[in-house]
Amino acid sequence: MINKLSNNRKNGRLNKKKSKKRKKLMKLCGLHDYSNTSHCFSDSTHHTCCLLGPDARRFADSRGNPIGNASEKAYNLKNKKTRKDNLRPWCTCIGSDVCSYYADTFKDGTKIKFINDIKSNDKVYKGVGNYCEDDVRQKMKLHKHLTPGVAVENRQCKDVKNIKKVKISNFSKKKRKKNRI
pLDDT in tens, 102-131: 999 999 999 999 999 999 999 999 999 988
Q: Is the pLDDT of residue 5 over 70?
A: no
**Could you read off the pLDDT of 65-93 as tens digits, one per residue?**
999 999 999 999 888 777 789 999 999 99
Predicted confidence band of residue 2 (pLDDT cuts 50, 70, 90): very low
Furthest CA-CA distance within the chain = 60
Residue 126 · residue 25 · CB < 8 Å: no
Q: What is the pLDDT, as a whole number, of residue 6?
A: 42
- DSSP codes joined into one string, 34-98: SGGGTTTTTSSSEEEEEEE-HHHHHHHHHTT-THHHHHHHHHHHH-SSPPTT--EEEEEEGGGTH
Q: What is the pLDDT, as a whole number, of residue 78?
A: 82
Q: What is the pLDDT, as a whole number, of residue 177?
A: 52
Q: What is the pLDDT, as a whole number, of residue 4?
A: 38
Residue 43 · residue 81 · CB < 8 Å: no
> Would you kindly state where each structural domain of the chain is located, as residue ranges?
9-165
Q: What is the pLDDT, as a whole number, of residue 17?
A: 82
| DSSP assignment letter at 117 | -
**Could you read off the pLDDT of 134-179 as tens digits, one per residue?**
999 999 999 999 998 898 888 888 889 999 999 999 998 765 555 5
